[in-house]
Amino acid sequence: MPWLGCQEDNEGSWAIGVFFGQSPFSLKPIETTEMWRNESAAWPVANPVITCASASDSGFPSNFVADPFLYVQGDVFYLFYETKNSFTMQGDIGVAKSIDKGATWQQLGIALDEEWHLSYPYVFNYLGQVYLMPESSQKGELHLYRVTNFPLKWELDRVIMKKPLIDSFIIDHNGEYWLFGSEHSSFGTTNGRLEIWYSSSPLGPWKPHKKNPIYNTYRSFGARNGGRPFRYNGNLYRIGQDCGETYGRRVRIFKVEVLSRVDYKEVEVPFPFEESSKGRNAWNGARYHHLDVQQLKSGEWVGVMDGDRVPSGDSVHRFLLGCASVAAVSGLILFLGVLLGAVNCIIPLNWCADYSGKRSDTLIAWERANVFSSKLRRVFSRLNRVPSFLRSWIKPNTFAGRSVLTLIFALGVALSCTGVTFIYGGSGAEEPYSWKGQFSQFTLLTMTYDARLWNLKMFVNHYSRCASVKEILVVWNKGIPPKVSDLNSAVPVRIRVEDLNSLNNRFKVDPLIKTRAVLELDDDIMMPCDDVERGFMLWRQHPDRIVGFYPRYVDGSRLEYSGEKYARKNKGYNMILTGAAFMDSQVAFERYWSEQAKPGREVVDKYFNCEDVLMNFLYANASSSKTVEYVRPAWAIDTSKLSSAAISRDTNVHYKIRSECLRKFSDMYGSMRGRRWEFDSRKDRWDV
């Protein structure tokens, strides 16, 4: 039941990405290599390559995946990782396989499942035998497993140590084997503790280092291990976790200078890992706490790293803040009731000292026997005088009183919205959607000019933080272009300055575009990143179509341009406005600039309009099957209504010009007659 996986988890939403570089200190994410899923795919692969959805879709529901370790056999990558079981809520060890350098992964199943929590599956080879040493601190012991049928069958070889060690690894150095791990079972120990043992064999027996514990310091120091140690240029490096701000905030790299039975010394070295500026919309925008790097036979280095979009304990933190906001609203309602006279008694009158009504014999006996009761009743009595005191102090029928009531009401509304947002609003991340277990990225293209610079700044600031945006291309048609530094962007921005102010520039063939997927989006359209991500997923299912958010219906006999209401009235559409649409840049742009499309481009230049209509006719002319796909956005704002700089501001004139374009394009490229696709035809109901 894969739908049970990927539930919100207080430990986070960890996922796993692949990185490549010429050294362990120059790692770049897989998307920078422009690696394709296969020869027919119309998009490059992007991180994360393995998520809870990858595991869940394979038959073992998972809330998250983390702690990745690579085992390389020739050209085949095996990845061992922790997967949190959605039923038992404990960690198991999953394994996946890749035969294309990490571009795609086949989920092989669960390699190890015990009655206790497992994580950190450190896998290594010794004398031709493959061993697995996962963390099993919940059991109170460190276990070593030996493979019997790689990679899914393992048996317990021995208990290495009867200590609840966390995140341990074994490394050979200077003729001896060294075991690094942390024990947090003692009172006062934190993620700032590290211990070392040594032996002549990785199978033991193990003796403690003379200086144990090596560290027992701040959580941010990086004492807790964060992956496999590695050698580079003859030096040994250890990876540690910085748990200062939150658990697993980042990894830190330490160069081991001295490792002997009597001494240990390491110094931190720079780790030039570029953190995402997309915040929670990036899969590793909040933290990354584990790295395994290895050198391939080609000399290239490959690394696997986990990442999370939310801090540790985020769901509990949000729930507590939401409950606190609701409690504050309840207090404000009570206070407002007191001021308006709706609440006269805060506590029952028979609890008050001056109450003269009848009391039960039990209550009277309790009052006589308990000295504390009389003091308590006096407090209650004074408390019940509060309503009249407040009404005399803040008079609702005065200007000051009305101001106070208005302020209380506004504060109550704000706290109510805050409470609902924290409890039901989620983590604040608008995540990408995977297709067949894969993620990708697209180029966002917009066309503008100097009179709309304020639009552009808002546009870039918002959309650059959408999860799958790789780059923003600004087609600058007129005026002095801005500097890239003037734009607050989380991704690279490229400004392409055009010599001629033409709408045809929108679809100009551009060899510098690094993705096949391009989202053509007018700079005056604002919509949630989640709608953008849904549209991108749908385009990856149908890369031969125009996939967008504004449907139109062109009646083959009527040939008059109308808005979305006309399409809704006819219960179907056959055009998608390319002012907010995904398309294959190589196919669409080459088709638009073909010799066949030249008469159409001349019409576009004549009317300074209709470039999107022309693109739809070109698609329809090239295929007899469905050429457009609609995705309904949750909401969309047209900011051009706030400005006079818009060619469609006068709707009547705009529609009249487009109707003329329809007639001309129908003569050039054929009628749209017989083409109509219904709304609400998709199972996901994204086109309702």
Give 50's DSSP letter: B
| Phi, psi torsion values for 170, nearest 5 degrees | -120, 135
CA dist 52 and 85 (Å) reads 10
Choose among 592, 610, 615, 612: nearest CA to 663.
Answer: 610
∠507-512-516 over CA atoms, to 5°?
65
Of 9, 354, 612, 667, the active-site residue reads: 612
Choose among 311, 310, 307: nearest CA to 288.
Answer: 307
Residue 8 CA to its chain's centroid (Å)? 13
Choose among 209, 320, 199, 207: nearest CA to 265.
Answer: 209
Q: Do residues 539 and 582 make contact, with C-beta atoms less than 8 angstroms apart?
A: yes
Give 98's DSSP letter: E
Burial class (CB in 10 A: 0-12, 13-18, 19+), 536: buried
CA dist 67 and 92 (Å) reads 11
Q: In the annotation, is 612 catalytic?
A: yes
CA dist 539 and 519 (Å) reads 10
Choose among 518, 499, 493: nearest CA to 507.
Answer: 518
CA dist 85 and 33 (Å) reads 33
- DSSP assignment of 131-158: EEEEE-GGGTSEEEEEEEETTTEEEEEE
CA dist 549 and 521 (Å) reads 10
CA dist 651 and 279 (Å) reads 39
Task: Look up residue 529 and give its two tokens.
Answer: 């990143």
Is the preceding peptide bond at 48 cis, omega within 30 degrees of 0? Answer: yes
Q: Do residues 535 and 528 make contact, with C-beta atoms less than 8 angstroms apart?
A: no
Cβ atoms within 10 A of the Cβ of 614, count? Answer: 26
Task: Look up residue 514 and give its two tokens.
Answer: 């690094």
Residues with catalytic function: 612
